[in-house]
Structure 1
Amino acid sequence: MCGIAGILANSFAPVQLETLIQRMQTALQHRGPDDHGIYISTDGQAAIAHTRLAILDLSPAGHQPMATADGRYWITFNGEIYNFQKLRHHLETQGEQFHSQTDTEVILKLYQRFGADCVNHLRGMFALAIWDNREKTCFLARDPLGIKPLYYYHSGSTLIFASELRAILATGLPSIQPSIAGLYGYLVSGSVPEPHTLIEGIHCLPAGNWLSWQSGQLTQHQYWQIDFTSETISQPEAIAKVRTALIDSIQHHFISDVPVGIFLSGGIDSTAVVALSRQTQQGELRTYSIAFRETDWNEGQIARQVAEVFGTNHTEYQITASLGRELFPKFLATLDQPSIDGFNTFCVSRIARDDGTKVVLSGLGGDELFGGYPSFQKIPQMVHWGKQLQRLSQIRTQLGMGLEYWGRSTQLKRLGDFLQQPPTITAAYRSFRGIFSHQEASVIAHHYLPDLPLPTRSTDTSSPVSSLEDQVSLLEITRYMRDQLLRDSDVTSMAWGLELRVPLVDRVLVETISSIPSSIRLAPGKQLLIQAVPDLPEWVFNRPKQGFFFPFEQWIAGEWQDYFCNINCPKHIQLKPWYRRWSLAVLQYWWERVIA
């Protein structure tokens, strides 16, 4: 993975344009320590930059920005295309000649032939920009599931884009005005929901979308979305289908010219990745895990047992409150936008990189695709009871207002929020997954931005799919996974110059299994995944789900107190559970660094 950036305009002098693009490149240097490059068009309309983490074709032939032989097309690309060898072979049969062993060159050739439709041929994670030096157009695209981020700022005829928000801000061109929509979204959910950011005017290109710039005008198009239309299939057929798709995805995600490691928590998803990797790969497998002194949170022993069963070269790193406290300032500086998550990936990424590994696989995505969260049972129940209470609409609304304002627990406040809305899956999801209720988030947002209008309660914009459980799956994939888990994984792994791959978040895998009826695919306890990977030890899946969490509550009450004691927040807002205090502390640090 790498860092990409660019400026498209016709209003800058060449010297100024070069200065601006160099600032952007410097802001992304951590994403690509192996190489860097800049291209500025002769007419001064385009400047694109790249910082490279070399994974495929480690030679200078992989240098970016990369151009076609005639100099017409120039690309800056972040990500990996796992089917590039197959695509390359097909292009060679059509007479194309290649000068490198990179996936980047394959994308260029595809764009030459197919234009914007090239993205439909790509299997992988990507954010890319291609400048057409003849037509004076630029094509930008983001992968279907949003694994790689792509931010942009459009003002007048100028378009600025980058892998991280900080690179756009480094130009000094956007005025740093906080976004009330981004702030409210963060307070409600714990992450800034795309397409918003915390800066007004800077947007995140939605997953599965491309953007075209020409003469200062933008065109946006959605080229992919998940389809949960179910087919008739038996349980044994579904198991076989999932197993074949999983093995295929694992094999593709090992395509690399450097060693590939695996994050191992000891849970079902990461153990499944290890088990399937052992089946498909010969030789050494490196695994990495975190352990704690606090026994209630420590899964180190389970991870060690998994590593022993599958014969991996295992590295365990014990994180104490003191060591975590030392790492916390760097973590805060790493965050491109505030989040209530990410510190776990930040720590384990450091371990892998210190061990000399440049690429790792993660089990992220298994819960969303196979129904591993309590939300798959709880949210449909909330919708059912909400519809029952809808007959008493006035009482229901008054009860909701009372709970939101006077409820003693944060759960009751969010339940009150839900009761004041139509009982949809989206409303129930926001309540179940939420951090602060609408009323609390509005008060905090007004505290930060007193001169802006208060935000309104979010409306239901989701598209209906075949079952309530499929709707929950869609929300978990497009909100929690995309806005938080994937974004945090990208930023925190790239802080150490590490490429993180997610074989369970694969376009072909998702397209293959999304047609399996939710009654099979989302059966409680991730039964379909367990049955599709019979190599899983019983003692891995026959224990309570724990998740990859840290003992933050104890640490915040102890050695980390000074980071969390002076929270800028209205006094009547409850700061328990711990993640509320965390969310506001991280927001406050980011705000003081970027906004103040």
Structure 2
Amino acid sequence: MRRSHEKNKSPIHKIYAVCRIAGLINKTADIRASAIRMRDSMAHGGPDDAGIYCDPSVGFALAHRRLSIIDLTNGGHQPMINDGGNVIIAYNGEVYNYRELKQILTQKGKKFHSSSDTEVILKAYEQWGADCFTMLKGMFAIAIYDKEKQQLILARDPNGIKPLYYYADSNTVCFASEVKAFKKLKPDWQEFENWKAYILVYGYLPEPYTTLTGVYMLPKGSYMCVDVHTISYSITNYNTDVYASNITDEQTAIEEVRNKLNIAVDRHLISDAPIGLFLSGGIDSSLLTLIAKQTGHTDLHTLSIVFDDKHFSEQTYQDIIAEKTKSNHRRFNLDAQIFTNELPDIFRAMDQPTTDGINTYFICKYAKTYGLKAVLSGLGADELFGGYASFGREKMINKLKKIPAIALRAGNLSIKDKYRKLSFLSAKNQVGEYLFHRGYFSTKEAARILGAYEKNIIETIESINIPADIGGWDYGNKVSYLEKNIYMQSQLLKDTDMMSMWHSIEVRVPFLDTDLVSLVNSIAPAIKFSENTPKHLLVKAYADLLPREIWDRKKQGFVFPFQHWMKGNENMYFKVVDKKMTQSYNAGNLSWSRYWAYLITANYQYLQAS
């Protein structure tokens, strides 16, 4: 097996400003220099190694930066080239069933030269072509150059855990793990005119949109096939969320959930480098830690963030689990001074504007301080098992939907945020229903802030992909789909990736294991969700393992007191601060989350440049 042309000889301990990939097809550009610029703009995401492969005959370059988690030797160096020299791969992520696949491929006669999961994907593609993506269990963004077929293939994992952005026109195709790489390729790249409307209304940019014109997120569970000569391309879905009621017996559901989650946690702890668990004190992180201990992982590393303000701190519950599992536990105290000192760096880490992500920034910062390279997170459990307040609002929603649209729109006249949200339901569609739960500024407010027509704002925010028949789904499955495929997909996963990679930390999410997700989607809503008890099926499945103190209390969530830390200091960090907006916030008529969304929208470009 051959290696790519360049390697970074820098020592692993050198700090750069886990894996990142980039590449392009362009017959007139200096492809090598262009790919290196894109790659090195993301050096923070791959500090251990760097490589590049070029094929000048077709104007193609593929670049990679690596964080070593599995196979810490040079055997995992990328881009990786097969023995025949006709298949080249660069990939970002982890494939947790690579050992099983390697055994199957070995039986089929494939020879291996390393212990890396990258080589397993490479050989799997040789054996099965694009069908191999359905066999990979993990999180990944993959670029494969097939010289024989003269094709570039880009693929993304079924749950969209790892990002992969692309741009395509008649002369060029380029792709990268972060949007900032496109700006490095072309500093004057045109801004997407509607991005601010999305931030004001959603609090983030819903997929596939970005802040740059023509730069899109590749859909999850799909692969893009590009002809390197004609630059024509197609996108094929290889995985789709399917909801069914195949499992209708609660005891069967409990046994299956327990079995699949135990396997998922065990898979996600595979590593040749230090790995830990983020312990917030809630159900999800507590359960992952307890399962890890139960499945034989005795040397557990856990970490948590605590606050001086007891209203926000969950140290009591964190300590219960740390003591029960006898983990190597470290607490990190976060206060106003640390927060304000780090705020400029938080904005630099923000590859795309978002109202969230600060919590992930700090937990990954402290994971790095702890000496870890990867941490497990409970992300995904709320969406799958019904952990959000939105799952308990069916009766309320049904009553409100009966109100005429004109009356619901009148909510815009209220000075109270909760009444203004009623205006979202006037749309009488699923986007409006989702935004009733999650929205920030109403379309009327966003239009006023941006000096735009409300009609244009409405058209913009409704241009997202939602199944046409979702209105007829069971309420629980419908909310689960919206929370998972809009909120989690476009904000939580994206924010987690960009903030963790900034600190060269990999965050793994066992609740999004493909087998577990498929199982949960097949359980009848009547036994999966409870209007009165959040995540009741998950709690029942581990009733013997999860202490009552952890689950029998009001959900707190992983929230920071930075509303109090920031108040009155806006002018220190933001160039644009609207006096009326600030007055409204100080008077208690504008919530912190909405005020923060405004500050991010108005200042994102300035903050990125500073």
Answer yes or no: same fold by TM over 0.5.
yes
Partner of 2:302: 287
Q: CA deviation at 1:587?
A: 2.8
1:534-593 alpha-carbon deviations (Å, 9 max, x no partner):
211111111111000001221122566633584259869955211112122223332225
- Report if aligned partners of 1:34, 1:54 keep a CA contact under 8 Å in 2: yes
Within 2, Cα distance between the matches of 1:530 and 1:377? 17
1:396-417 alpha-carbon deviations (Å, 9 max, x no partner):
232223222x111122112023
Superposition pairs of residues 426-505 of structure 1, within 5 angstroms: 426-446=431-451, 454=457, 456=459, 458=462, 461-463=465-467, 464=469, 466-505=473-512
Assess, with a 3 A threshold, how the Cα gap between structure 1 residues 307 and 595 changes in structure 2: closer, same or farther. Answer: closer
Give 1:486's aligned amino acid.
L
Superposition pairs of residues 399-418 of structure 1, within 5 angstroms: 399-404=407-412, 406-418=413-425
Within 2, Cα distance between the matches of 1:381 and 1:458? 24
- Report if aligned partners of 2:48, 2:68 keep a CA contact under 8 Å in 1: yes
Give 1:116's aligned amino acid.
A
1:183 corresponds to 2:196: yes
- Report if aligned partners of 1:239, 1:528 keep a CA contact under 8 Å in 2: yes
Within 1, Cα distance between the matches of 2:169 and 2:395? 46
Superposition pairs of residues 189-588 of structure 1, within 5 angstroms: 189-214=202-227, 215-378=230-393, 380-389=394-403, 396-404=404-412, 406-418=413-425, 420-422=426-428, 424-446=429-451, 454=457, 456=459, 458=462, 461-463=465-467, 464=469, 466-523=473-530, 524-533=533-542, 534-557=544-567, 562-563=572-573, 566-567=576-577, 575=585, 576-588=590-602
1:361-384 alpha-carbon deviations (Å, 9 max, x no partner):
001111111101000112x23441
- Report if aligned partners of 1:196, 1:204 keep a CA contact under 8 Å in 2: yes
Partner of 1:55: helix, strand, or coil?
coil
1:77 corresponds to 2:91: yes
- Report if aligned partners of 2:97, 2:137 keep a CA contact under 8 Å in 1: yes
Assess, with a 3 A threshold, how the Cα gap between structure 1 residues 453 and 477 changes in structure 2: closer, same or farther. Answer: closer
Within 1, Cα distance between the matches of 2:401 and 2:72? 58
1:156-204 alpha-carbon deviations (Å, 9 max, x no partner):
2201100000011100177222331x33222211110001111111111
Within 2, Cα distance between the matches of 1:232 and 1:47? 48
Paired residues, number: 579
Within 2, Cα distance between the matches of 1:262 and 1:234? 32
Superposition pairs of residues 51-70 of structure 1, within 5 angstroms: 51-70=65-84
Partner of 1:436: helix, strand, or coil?
coil
Partner of 1:8: 25
1:337-371 alpha-carbon deviations (Å, 9 max, x no partner):
11111111110111111111001100111111110
TM-score, normalised to structure 2's length? Answer: 0.91
Structure 1: any 5+ residue segments left out of the alignment?
Answer: 390-395
Structure 2: any 5+ residue segments left out of the alignment?
Answer: 1-17
- Report if aligned partners of 1:191, 1:338 keep a CA contact under 8 Å in 2: yes
Deviates more, 1:201-210 or 1:517-526: 517-526
Within 1, Cα distance between the matches of 2:277 and 2:418? 36
Give 1:458's aligned amino acid.
E
Assess, with a 3 A threshold, how the Cα gap between structure 1 residues 439 and 560 changes in structure 2: closer, same or farther. Answer: closer
Within 2, Cα distance between the matches of 1:148 and 1:50? 15
Assess, with a 3 A threshold, how the Cα gap between structure 1 residues 570 and 222 changes in structure 2: closer, same or farther. Answer: farther
Give 2:540's aligned amino acid.
Q
- Report if aligned partners of 1:445, 1:454 keep a CA contact under 8 Å in 2: no
- Report if aligned partners of 1:152, 1:159 keep a CA contact under 8 Å in 2: yes
Q: CA deviation at 1:255?
A: 1.2
Within 2, Cα distance between the matches of 1:569 and 1:462? 38
Within 1, Cα distance between the matches of 2:463 and 2:116? 44
Within 1, Cα distance between the matches of 2:582 and 2:333? 37
Give 1:302's aligned amino acid.
Y
Give 1:43's aligned amino acid.
S
TM-score, normalised to structure 1's length? Answer: 0.93
Give 1:582's aligned amino acid.
W
- Report if aligned partners of 1:332, 1:586 keep a CA contact under 8 Å in 2: no
Percent identity between the two aligned chains: 35
- Report if aligned partners of 2:200, 2:601 keep a CA contact under 8 Å in 1: no
1:456-490 alpha-carbon deviations (Å, 9 max, x no partner):
26268532354111010011110111111111111
